[in-house]
Structure 1
Amino acid sequence: MSENISVYNELRLRQQLCDALIRVESVEFFVHKVILCNCSPYFRALFTHWSTPDCHVFDLPGVAPNLMNLIIEFAYTSFVPVTPENVQELFVTADRFNIMGILHACSDFFDRQLTPQNCIGIWLFTDTYYYPEMTHKAFLFILNSFEEVLATSEEFPLLSVRHLVKIIQSNHLIVRQEETVFQAIIQWMAFAPEERRAHSSLLLSNVRLALMSPDYIIDNVVDNEVVKSNQECRMIVLKILEPFLDHMTRSYYKSITCQPLAPPRLPPALLLAVGGWSNGSPTNFIEAYDVRIDCWVNVAYTEKTPRAYHGAVFLDGSVYCVGGFDGVKQFSSVHRLELGTHTWQEVSPMHSSRCFVSVTVMDGYIYALGGYNGHERLQTAERYEPRSNQWSLIASMHEQRSDASCTTLHGRVYICGGFNGRECLSSAECYNPYTNQWTLIAPMGNRRSGIGVITYEKKIFAVGGFNGTKRLSTAEAYDPLTCTWHNLPSMLTPRSNFGISVINDCLFVVGGYNGIDTIFDVEFYDVRTHEWFDARDMEISRSALSCCVVSGISNMADYAATLNPPECLQLPCAEANQMEE
């Protein structure tokens, strides 16, 4: 509080030099006109245009005395205590008197309090009183958390049809499957079936039916009582099914002509491919992959420093690039891309320079294991806590490991393979953060350096790599319940030093080195079919890159593919291959 404001407030409390009296329900407040004029254009108009200069008493109807007291306190102190009990009444009163400072304070409170259970109420409330900034935040929260809103919100069935349409027609609505949107409208109509049945065709026309599988449409949409009983709904479904039925008789099944109902929505997650070695030197290029439309997009917010043989992880809305190599020196530095603001920032460096480093995230910590410091292969390990911006050394591994790969499962960090300076390794070990100890586990069936390791379907998958003689296409998985490894189907392309991530319930491998060249190739493994399938190639060939999956950020649209309907809409690759069979 400034000294002047403190003086004015002291004068108010002593009722000295006050030139106005505000009366609310017989409660009187002595004030200085100039202070309230500074707080709100409403009071400025009241004192200068809506009353005569000699008027000193102002009766304000329809205001609770406790709220007027908060407003006057804010005018003098710039502070207002916002609580769950008073926030709505305070917001309404501040809106009436056009007190932007209190509206901002209430909006910040709403923003902090947003949950799947209350976001609809906050959205509708702030929309009613026209506070577009908070209305937009609440609406984005609904779009980003729609599946949880649908499952837990008692407010969802109370939406008007206008507001429900606004939600489901948005390209920014995040759902893992379009089927969820169809189920949402059926759930909404079931709350008041007689009066809401009339809206069925309007709602169904905003469901992207062409993003669903033909089997789901036939089994669940066509046979739904609401759809069957409405001729317009039946025509909408038939219009969508025609391209599928047409393609069933042709030899080309990979794509369907994009229908008006089929533009893709914003994806719930994106796979980022960061940096790597391309065209004979390190690159700072970042691409984002949208699995639902099988498309790579160039991310404009690249780091200034090209790097390869680094680690990239996603944590709390930011991507961290850890260690690596620029062609001259090995890095101990760590850079963070804050996705919400598109800004890079250097954070605390590691204790050691580490290229060929293995990096993962567990329980809010970033782990950096092994690597090469330019002189020796490292056995040491450390972890980073973002809140304190500090790296701490943890117990060293049993083996020196560079060019290994790591992941987490059931509260443990697993690292597999690598190179110890003499030979490629088949050994693997896991770290317990509670005991600060590493334990050797059963070795893999193959020596693998430049390996990809990832947790998938509650197992540790070890994919590809270099065995000292050749690049591998083989893969194997470790079951921590039986402490054994078993072989998996081989990749379509042998590769080492590639990116690996799990997205959309499939395991993706990205780029790498095939023994002759760095490659563009991307493929994925679907555990449900036990097969590998091709995906869209990256824009540039590169090895020694790092991949991570980004989700839960409010500005996903900044990193996703353009949401205009593409010339053709890719079917999910597994489904397309099944159709070919």
Structure 2
Amino acid sequence: MEFNTKHRKLSKTKNSVRAPSSAKPRLTKKKTIVRKRKCVCLPENYSVVEFPSIWNELRQNGQLCDGTIVCRDMKSIRVHRAILSAVSPYFKAIFINSLRKGEPEEKEIFVDVPSYYMNLILDYAYTGTCIVTAENVEYLLPYADQFDVVGVIQLCCQYLLQELRPHNCLGIFKFARYYFCGELEKKGKLYIRQNFSRILKECNEFKSLTFDELEDILRDDELNVRNEEIVFQAVKTWVEYDIENRKRYIPSLLSCVRFGHISYKYFKSKILQWQPVVDDSNTQEALYPAVVFHTLLDSRPGTEADLNDPLARPRIPYEILFAVGGWSAGSPTSFVETYDTRADRWFLSIHMDLTPRAYHGLCTLNNLIYMIGGFDGSDHFNTVRCYDPVANTWHERACGYNGRTRMSSVERYYPDKNQWEMTTPMNKQRSDASAASLSGKIYIVGGFNGQEVLSSAEVFDADTKQWSFIRSMLSPRSGVSLIAYRDCLYALGGFNGYSRLNTGERFNPSRGGDWQEVTEMFSARSNFATVLLDDMIFVIGGFNGNRHNLLLRF
């Protein structure tokens, strides 16, 4: 789906009105009507309207019709003026002749719109919905906007929001901005910020951005890039697409790059040696502060950059890593630490209303963090607490089953009802196992059954509500961490009954087959956490048999 608002600009003028041939000639209204309306495209403002089925029945049978619309292709469509006026202030004004007081009401009008699109708008007028596709949305939305049919505008914007992809989001964003769909424009810009790295690789329209559009994206504090090398690569790609006409923008665009987050080696070899920089003294002068910054930092090994320096100010992270509780210094803790990938810094906070615990489960759902079960050094918990990071508040939730043995049972939680219910049990009893979801299925691996460390693995199909065994792992693993990443499952670390492991293995469910070894971690560890950030697997904490570990990324 591609949009070209530059070459497909539709008129905002009122269309011609056709009176019956026996009365008066066609009148053309050329005056431009400038409408300032509140944006109505926000999908959550849209609700399906159930129209009486009799309306469409009368339309299909051509019964009780009292008006006619003649389209650009000269096809005539019989309509009910009251029904069409109810969904469109435009048609109401035309039919009742509100622009010419005292004149008879219009019964036949001409619209400079193909009958295909007019029929889609009529579908909505009579049924409350119409079919929006990739092939028709680019014209349907402007026509609906022209006739002020709010419901069709909302349907189109809903469709476009669902269709946002790296290859088309720039076009949709420009399209929304041109037609004053403010909320779709805002969500499109958010999508661009969040998926910028993929857009740079996959979107052909990136090279056609204007300088102002590109600069606006690259200066954004919320631009989601793993590192600033990506920002420089974006500048380089855009400039080299038309270097003669765009090289004058290089100094301004390079000022968007936060050089404090680029390695000195990359800065010297890739940026200072970029030919447009070598050839232009103005560009070299623009880079002088960055040269000084890197020279000073390189001369003082071990020194951290000042994050208040504009060159080193990190962008606002798209995701934050939360480490909650855990075992430290011989006892469970109630500490909450957050990790900012952009600044590469941990920040500690103490939550007085949080009971110290370790060996609990953590998961996120609807931007809330759920902490399930755990152990405080003497008691095992069946309690559940929910944390809202925005409000910085904890709330109690319904407790799960309070088991006293290793279990094969499985519980499912409904946040809306705040209720747990038992579902199909696993084939094996397990504690210290690890679970992950992938492609709508739940996988669980390893663990301890009270007698032996397990290498077995199972999968739960929510449709059939059945657990099935999959191929066992290469190593038995208790205190293992399982994570889904790029269509594969990764089982990392754990305890095999004799020692902690730094090994990992990968399984691709779509291909079946065996588990395959992956690169070893630096440190052996069990009972740790894993999470995905910036398209990388982060490994946090754990126990190596002697001491607790820190953070690694893979």
Say whether the fold is shared (TM-score over 0.5): yes
Cα separation, 2, equivalents of 1:87 and 1:390: 45
Residues 488, 137 of structure 1: CA spacing in aligned structure 2 closer, same or farther, 3 A cutoff? closer
Report the Cα offset of residue 290 of structure 1. 1.0
Residues 190, 478 of structure 1: CA spacing in aligned structure 2 closer, same or farther, 3 A cutoff? closer
Counterpart of 1:245, as a letter, is T
Cα separation, 1, equivalents of 2:518 and 2:250: 52
Secondary structure at the residue paired with 2:130? coil
Equivalences, count: 479
Cα separation, 1, equivalents of 2:436 and 2:59: 61
Query: For 1:425-459, what per-residue CA distance to the aligned partner results, in whole angstroms no more than 9, with x for missing partners?
Result: 8x452315495168586568xxx8xx574679998
RMSD: 5.2
Question: In the alignment, is the contact (CA less than 8 A) between 1:496 and 1:513 conserved in 2?
Answer: yes
Cα separation, 2, equivalents of 1:485 and 1:69: 58
% identity of equivalent residues: 27
Query: Which of 401, 406, 430 does residue 434 from structure 2 map onto?
Result: 406
Q: Which residue number corresponds to residue 367 of structure 1?
A: none
Q: Which residue number corresponds to residue 313 of structure 2?
A: 263
Q: Which residue number corresponds to residue 188 of structure 2?
A: 138
Q: Which residue number corresponds to residue 469 of structure 2?
A: 436
Q: Which residue number corresponds to residue 231 of structure 1?
A: 281
Query: Which of 82, 85, 91 does residue 37 from structure 1 map onto?
Result: 85
Residues 131, 326 of structure 1: CA spacing in aligned structure 2 closer, same or farther, 3 A cutoff? farther
Query: Which of 509, 514, 523 does residue 540 from structure 2 map onto?
Result: 509
Cα separation, 2, equivalents of 1:61 and 1:342: 56
Query: For 1:207-235, what per-residue CA distance to the aligned partner results, in whole angstroms no more than 9, with x for missing partners?
Result: 22221111111110000012222333212
Query: Which of 85, 89, 111 does residue 161 from structure 2 map onto?
Result: 111
Query: Which of 477, 501, 505 does residue 503 from structure 2 map onto?
Result: 477
Query: For 1:454-505, what per-residue CA distance to the aligned partner results, in whole angstroms no more than 9, with x for missing partners?
Result: 67999855379999xxxx9x764356899999997669xxx99665556565
Counterpart of 2:312, as a letter, is A
| 1:394 paired to 2:426 | yes
Query: For 1:58-95, what per-residue CA distance to the aligned partner results, in whole angstroms no more than 9, with x for missing partners?
Result: 53442112212221231222111111221111011011
Cα separation, 2, equivalents of 1:312 and 1:503: 16
Question: In the alignment, is the contact (CA less than 8 A) between 1:24 and 1:61 conserved in 2?
Answer: yes
Structure 2: runs of 5+ lacking an equivalent: 1-47, 460-466, 507-513
| 1:168 paired to 2:218 | yes
Residues 92, 506 of structure 1: CA spacing in aligned structure 2 closer, same or farther, 3 A cutoff? closer
Counterpart of 2:446, as a letter, is I
Q: Which residue number corresponds to residue 50 of structure 1?
A: 99
Cα separation, 2, equivalents of 1:215 and 1:193: 25
Cα separation, 1, equivalents of 2:106 and 2:393: 53
Secondary structure at the residue paired with 2:238? helix
Structure 1: runs of 5+ lacking an equivalent: 354-372, 528-581
Question: In the alignment, is the contact (CA less than 8 A) between 1:269 and 1:503 conserved in 2?
Answer: yes
Report the Cα offset of residue 31 of structure 1. 3.4
Cα separation, 2, equivalents of 1:34 and 1:303: 61
- 1:103-502 equivalences in 2 (<5 Å): 103-250=153-300, 253-256=303-306, 258-274=308-324, 287-296=337-346, 309-314=359-364, 321-324=371-374, 352-353=401-402, 373=403, 375-376=404-405, 378-380=406-408, 382=410, 391-397=423-429, 401=431, 404=432, 406=434, 413-415=444-446, 420=450, 427-433=453-459, 436=469, 439=472, 442=475, 453=481, 461-462=492-493, 476-477=502-503, 499=529, 501=531
- Higher mean alpha-carbon deviation, 167-176 vs 227-236, is at 227-236
TM-score (norm 2): 0.69
Counterpart of 1:191, as a letter, is Y
TM-score (norm 1): 0.66
More strand by share: 1
Question: In the alignment, is the contact (CA less than 8 A) between 1:476 and 1:486 conserved in 2?
Answer: no
Cα separation, 2, equivalents of 1:512 and 1:57: 81
Report the Cα offset of residue 101 of structure 1. 0.8
Cα separation, 1, equivalents of 2:233 and 2:517: 41
Report the Cα offset of residue 151 of structure 1. 1.4
Query: For 1:85-135, what per-residue CA distance to the aligned partner results, in whole angstroms no more than 9, with x for missing partners?
Result: 211110110111122111110011111212111111111111111111111
Secondary structure at the residue paired with 2:424? strand
Query: Which of 58, 65, 68 does residue 21 from structure 1 map onto?
Result: 68
Counterpart of 2:324, as a letter, is V
Query: For 1:409-429, what per-residue CA distance to the aligned partner results, in whole angstroms no more than 9, with x for missing partners?
Result: 99975435x694x9xx8x452
